[in-house]
A and B are shown apart, each in its own frame.
Chain A
């Protein structure tokens, strides 16, 4: 059996794959956070809860309506996005004129409500969600065994990230969004409905989180607390990357995921804290984050 730095090659590749998968979710979630923060100036603490809601939506659609994985991939983000639109219209929009920390506290409270209710209804234990038949099984790549679903998650998340980036950088809607980020008053004066843009953005960000949740459902189990621990790591990812750039958020997500996977191989005890350690180092060396701008 071949070894790399004294580690059996399959174990190394396996951990890199797990790192890429985790990195996919870090990237998807920090992308959504960055999109929301860019325009709304709110850190969406409910992002983890919305990811959990996406996974639960897929689970409930399957078990109570017989709707499978593929439709859920569309429906769950729409449902969660719709809930988010209501939240933005009724609550979040009242807080834009005051300190952004209140937005953080509001979404923190909402996250507690969602998690508490789902825990009350479904218990804390994880629920299995089978991957669709087309994506089950695996293929032997010669140097390692690749479960097809995991390969799909990496590819799908890359496509979603690049798609979102293109949406923001290359379309008219994206141009409005970027312009409103720079100067909302001016954009409104040009006849763009900025409040609607804000609502749409929050819905889009929450929908992205829900989409990540559906992708995650077959890999991690569906549980009420699946989002809250993840979101804290994603916050660290966001601090490392800086929220100035969408592309930065994506790249940082994947890189930190892989670094975490590698740590699991070489020094497993540190794997749960490595991202926080990297965050601390980045704060010492480059406080604005790797891709961030000093404000």
Chain B
């Protein structure tokens, strides 16, 4: 049984409720920079999109990638290089980053989908580590220093992204675009076939679907969207470093998704917000963040496998019968 399948099936909920909920959430996000430090919110949005992109793979195809930092951090490098060295306009730079991540996803996915389950996780982890080594040595990434001082520039030559609010609303737009894309993918016929593969791969094969192509397609989409998040983060924070390509980052995005709820649409975003808030909170103390992340992992796996949103949805389902 694929990870989480016992909990995942997205239940058709009253449409009106979803619309109201979505509208409230968007309104809150629009108002957020007036209540919360905008850079923190932008960080949350980038990681929320990253986690949602990761969840497209684990939640809807049942594939656990342990190497998603490759696409997140790789795109950050591509975008930072294009914007800083080639002087590209930020949106073009971000699109290049996402395209680069998709290309990386094609290579990694092509190799990794040849094995399943646990092997898939180990292969993606190993290839991710290989990419991190390459980033350490390649000249354009500047090794340990990373690419610093990336200019935010003017969006389409018009909007000055050095204005915190402009940067925030641009990041929000990118997040909403990515989130909507994931929603569309999941609810398309393509998405239904992915879920069929997750539930029973052999049956999907016997029904005549070329399972490998669907898996690879989903992998590339997930990589591209993870890249979109990483590329945006490079513009927001104006740097790209090794931190974003290392395996710890792949672990973090797994945690965000697990904590929020694997296979729920908004769960990963909630998880990302919580983890970032926690890291932000702990940055001031000397308590080791890794230990806490490890503890949350263990607790989630042992008693809380549906994640926060998954638990709430299960609770609501039980109430409404």
Known: A99-B3, A106-B301. A269 touches B137 (CB 8 A): yes
CA distance A125 to B50 in the complex (A): 32
Note all chain A residues with C-beta closer than 8 A to B254.
105, 108
Output the least CB separation between B242 and chain A (Å): 13
Of A105, A110, A117, A279, the contact of B126 (CB 8 Å cutoff): A279
Chain B nearest CB from A142 CB (Å) reads 36
**Does A176 sit at the interface, judged by CB under 8 A?**
no
B122 touches A109 (CB 8 A): no
Please state if A232 and B296 are interface contacts (CB–CB under 8 Å): no
Q: Judging by beta carbons under 8 Å apart, are A119 and B122 in contact?
A: no
Whether A104 and B298, one on each chain, are in contact in the complex, defined by CB atoms closer than 8 angstroms, is no
In the complex, chain B residues whose CB is within 8 Å of the CB of A94? 302
A196 and B71 alpha carbons, distance in the complex (Å) = 42
Q: Which of B20-28, B113-121, B156-164 forms part of the interface with chain A? A: B113-121
Task: Tell me which residues across on chain B come within 8 A of A101, comparing CB atoms.
Answer: 3, 64, 117-118, 121
- Among B41-49, B86-94, B127-135, B188-196, the one that faces the other chain is B127-135
The chain A residues found within 8 Å of chain B, CB to CB, are 37, 43, 91, 94-95, 98-102, 104-106, 108-117, 119-120, 228, 232-233, 235-236, 238-239, 269, 272-273, 276-277, 279-280, 283-284, 287
Query: Would you call A112 and B251 a contact (CB within 8 A)?
Result: yes
CA distance A86 to B137 in the complex (A): 42
* Known contacts A116-B290, A239-B119; is-contact A91 B298 (Cβ 8 Å): yes
Docked Cα-Cα span, A115 to B126, in Å, equals 20
* B297 pairs with A100, CB closer than 8 A: no
Bound-state CA distance A56–B292 (Å) is 21
CB pair B115 A235 closer than 8 Å? no
Instruction: Given A100-B118, A104-B121, verify A113-B130 contact (CB < 8 Å).
Output: no
Q: Which 6 A-B pairs have CB atoms at the shortest separation, nearest pair first?
A: A109-B297, A112-B294, A116-B290, A113-B294, A116-B291, A276-B130
Cβ A235 vs Cβ B126 within 8 A: yes
Query: Contact size class for B?
Result: 35 or more
Output the nearest chain A residue to B129 by Cβ-Cβ distance: A232
Q: Which of A102, A108, A113, A228 has the most CB of B within 10 A?
A: A108
Nearest-neighbor residue (CB-CB) of A284 within chain B? B111
Q: How far is the CB of A280 from chain B (nearest CB, A)?
A: 5
Contact A108 B297 (CB under 8 A): yes
Smallest CB gap from B1: residue in A: A99
Q: Which residues of A contact B4 (CB under 8 A)?
A: 99
| Docked complex Cα distance between A269 and B134 (Å) | 10
In the bound complex, CA of A108 to CA of B66 (Å): 11
B233 to chain A, nearest CB (A): 23
Is B165 at the interface (CB under 8 A from chain A)? no
Q: Are B127 and A276 in contact (CB under 8 A)?
A: yes
* B127 vs chain A, min Cβ distance (A): 6
- Contacts A43-B118, A104-B64, A272-B133 given: A113-B295 contact, CB under 8 Å? yes
Can you pick out 26 interface pairs between chain A and chain B where the beta carbons lie within 8 Å of each other?
A: A37-B118, A94-B302, A98-B6, A100-B118, A101-B117, A101-B121, A102-B301, A104-B118, A104-B121, A106-B297, A106-B301, A109-B295, A109-B301, A110-B294, A111-B294, A112-B291, A113-B290, A116-B288, A228-B247, A232-B247, A235-B122, A236-B122, A239-B123, A239-B126, A284-B111, A287-B114
CB-contact partner of A276 in B126, B288, B298, under 8 A: B126
Among A43, A114, A120, A279, contact of B121 (Cβ-Cβ < 8 Å): A43
User: Does B305 make an interface contact (CB < 8 A)?
Assistant: yes
Set A98, A117, A232: member contacting B125, Cβ < 8 A: A232
Contact B126 A108 (CB under 8 A): no
B122 pairs with A43, CB closer than 8 A? yes
Contact of A110 among B125, B134, B298 (CB under 8 A): B298
Q: By the criterion CB–CB under 8 Å, are A112 and B3 in contact?
A: no
Cβ of B305: which chain A residues have Cβ within 8 Å of it? 98, 102
Chain A: CB-nearest residue to B291? A116
Docked CA distance A276–B123 (Å): 9
- Bound together, the chains give a CA A239 to CA B293 distance in angstroms of 27
**CB–CB A100/B117 < 8 A:** yes
Known: A113-B295, A116-B293. 13 other contacts (CB 8 A): A43-B121, A94-B302, A95-B302, A99-B4, A100-B117, A106-B302, A111-B294, A232-B247, A233-B126, A235-B122, A235-B125, A239-B115, A280-B127
Cα separation A116 to B254 with both chains bound (whole Å): 18
- Shortest beta-carbon distance from B249 to chain A in Å: 13
Determine the distance from Cα of A273 to Cα of B136 in the docked complex, in whole angstroms.
Answer: 11
Write out, one digit per residue, whether chain B residues 1-30 have a CB within 8 A of any chain A CB (1) or not (0).
Answer: 111101000000000000000000000000
Would A116 and B294 count as touching, CB distance under 8 A?
A: yes
CB distance from B219 to the nearest CB of A (A): 14
A112 touches B297 (CB 8 A): yes
Chain B residue at minimum C-beta to C-beta distance from A113: B294
A230–B127 CA distance with the chains assembled, in angstroms: 14
Report B-chain residues with C-beta under 8 Å of the C-beta of A280: 111, 127
Given A100-B117, A113-B295, A120-B291, does the pair A108, B1 have CB atoms closer than 8 Å? no
Contact, CB under 8 Å: A239 / B122: yes
Give the Cβ gap from B289 to chain A, nearest Cβ, in Å.
Answer: 8
Q: Could you tell me the distance between the alpha carbons of A269 and B111 in the complex, rounded to whole angstroms?
A: 23
Chain A residues within 8 Å of B288, by CB: 116-117, 119-120
